[in-house]
Amino acid sequence: MNKPVAVVTGASRGIGRAIAEELSRTHEVVATWRGRRDAAESLAANTGAVTFQCDVSSGSDRRALIEFTRERFGRLDLLVNNAGMAPRERRDLLEATEASFDELIATNLKGPHFLTQLAARWMVEQGAGRIIFVGSISAYTASVNRGEYCISKAGLSMSVALYAQRLAGHGIQVFEIRPGIIRTDMIAAVEKTYEERIAGGLLPQRRMGEARDIAHAVRAIADGLLDYSTGQVINVDGGFHLRSL
């Protein structure tokens, strides 16, 4: 087997699917899914990716994913921590529930943090590898009707920094790709509102992002073009992060 191997979590739809489709041109891809078997099957049929059901919030599922990849391919060159979720119901900060907080922290922060721990141990054995976390502008942008999401993504950014520092000496690069407003199922309910705000000047580049924009950033990392930039946050946000007077 000559192809490098990539694991992409949350790959059946949206950003994760675009990443899996892009990487399948050059990599053997293990694409995880949680609730949409039909979407996972269509991805496999279209790309040749190997699909694996995995809830990243589950420790046993995380271990099973790494064990499956090791048994199937014997190597891991790239981990893309993409799986994540928005609150099931947007609630004002003063009304938000602990149950929602716990669910988002488990899926968006604890899951990728400890999946990376497993992958990193393997990559250290190999002496090489790359790891990508798909974050969000919500890491620094306060949305008081989905505070638990913002907190989970802010924590994820620190996980990137920690792993980048810890693994650099082992030849393993770690990156955060920080999407802005991307057209996916996650924003479907508020897509029209975002389109109106973008037209009104919310973004310097006056268009909504597409999943392929994130996939292109992943491609640059996967191809080794940023190997001397470990720990970097790559903003794919149409310029949202810029400040101007």
Domain ranges across the chain: 5-235
The Cβ of residue 6 has, within 10 Å, a number of other Cβ atoms equal to: 29
Q: How far is CA 14 from CA 19, 54, 82, 139, 190, in A?
A: 9, 17, 10, 20, 16
User: What is the predicted pLDDT for the residue at 187?
Assistant: 87
Give Cα separations from 45 to 49, 144, 190 (angstroms). 8, 40, 31
Catalytic annotation on 140?
Answer: no
Residue environment code for 133-149, b if the CB has 16+ CB neighbours within 10 A, otherwise e: bbbbbbbeeeeeebbbb
Assigned token pair, 231 = 């720990």
**Given the structure tokens 């393993």, which residue do they identify?**
172
| Token couple for 235 | 């903003």
- pLDDT for the residue numbered 1: 61
Query: Are 52 and 30 within 8 A, CB to CB?
Result: yes
Catalytic residue among 140, 149, 163, 228: 149
Give the architecture (CATH level 2) of 5-235.
3-Layer(aba) Sandwich (3.40)
Beta-bridge mates of residue 81:
133
Q: What is the pLDDT of residue 213?
A: 98
* Per-residue pLDDT of the chain in tens (245 residues, 90 and over written 9): 689 999 999 999 999 999 999 999 999 999 999 988 999 999 999 999 999 999 999 999 999 999 999 999 999 999 999 999 999 999 999 999 999 999 999 999 999 999 999 999 999 999 999 999 999 999 999 999 999 999 999 999 999 999 999 999 999 999 999 999 999 988 888 899 999 999 999 999 999 999 999 999 999 999 999 999 999 999 999 999 999 88
5-8/28-33 β-pairing: parallel
